Copies of this chain bind each other. A is one copy, B any other.
C-alpha cells in the first residue's frame, strides 16, 4: 500500500503564532491560563500543560492565582474581554488575525446599520466571539436550509463566514441572500490555510482508497476536511492519534492518503504516518 501525504496539511499560521506566543509568556510566568483551549487539539494542549505549565479555564471568573491570561486562537466575546480587562490580569491576545478580521467587520457593519449574518456553527467559540461584536443579535446559520426558514430576510445584510468553512457552502447561502435582499455586503473571511488544506484534501481523496484525517474531534476545520474526504473516498477516518487507527481499515487498499487539520501538531501526524507504514511492512 502506498502512503501519501496531502500537498498541504497541518498547522496554519494562526496556530503556530498562538503556540509561539503562549510558550514565550509561559516560560517566564507560572500557571499561565488560556480561556478555553488555545487550539482544538487535546494532545497539543496536554503538551503545553506538561512542558510549559499552561492551564485551560473556560470561566473568566475562576482565574485562581494566575496572573497571565492568554486569549485562544478562536477569540473570546467582547463582553468577556472587557470583564477580563477589569480584573487586573496580564492579557496576551493569541486570537488568530483571520478571526480578528470578521470581529472588526461585524462591529463596523453593525454600526453602519447592516444586519449581520454569520455562516458558521453558533456553538463554536470562534462564532460566539464574532457574534459578540454585533450591536443587534446576528443571524447565525449553519446551512442553506436554515436561511430558507427565515421568514423576513433583512434588506441590508453584511455576511461573514467562520474562517474554517467550505467556500462552496458559503456561496450557496450568499446566492440565496442576493436573490432575496436589496444589498448584500459579502466578506470572504474563510482563511487561506483552510482553503488550501481543503483543496489538497479534495485532490488526494480523489485518488486514495482510504483516507486518514488527523486532528481534534472538536476542531471545525478538521471536520470539514473529513467531510470533503468522505465525499470522494467513502473509507475516510478521523483520528486524534495513532491509537485510534484500526488495522482492518487498510485491508486490500492500494493508496492511503493522510491529511491533518490546521491545529494538528506535526509530531502527532508523524506518529500516525509511522503507525500506518508499520502495518504495511
Contact = CB atoms under 8 A, between A and B. Distances in A.
B184 A186 contact: yes
A179 B187 CA distance: 10
Contacts of A185: 183-186
A181 B183 CA distance: 17
Copies in the complex: 2
A188 interface: yes
From A170, A175, A181, A186, name the one whose CB has the most chain B CB atoms within 10 angstroms: A186
A109 to B, nearest CB: 10
A127 to B, nearest CB: 19
Interface residues on chain A, size class: 10 to 19
Contacts of A170: 178
A139 interface: no
A182 interface: yes
Interface string A225-256: 00000000000000000000000000000000
> 10 tightest A-B contacts by CB?
A184-B186, A171-B175, A185-B185, A178-B186, A178-B188, A183-B187, A167-B179, A186-B186, A171-B178, A174-B178
Interface of A: 167, 170-171, 174-175, 178-179, 181-188
11 contacts: A171-B175, A171-B179, A174-B178, A179-B188, A181-B188, A182-B188, A183-B185, A183-B186, A184-B185, A185-B185, A185-B186
Given A181-B188, A182-B188, 9 more contacts: A174-B178, A178-B186, A183-B185, A183-B187, A183-B188, A184-B185, A184-B186, A184-B188, A185-B186
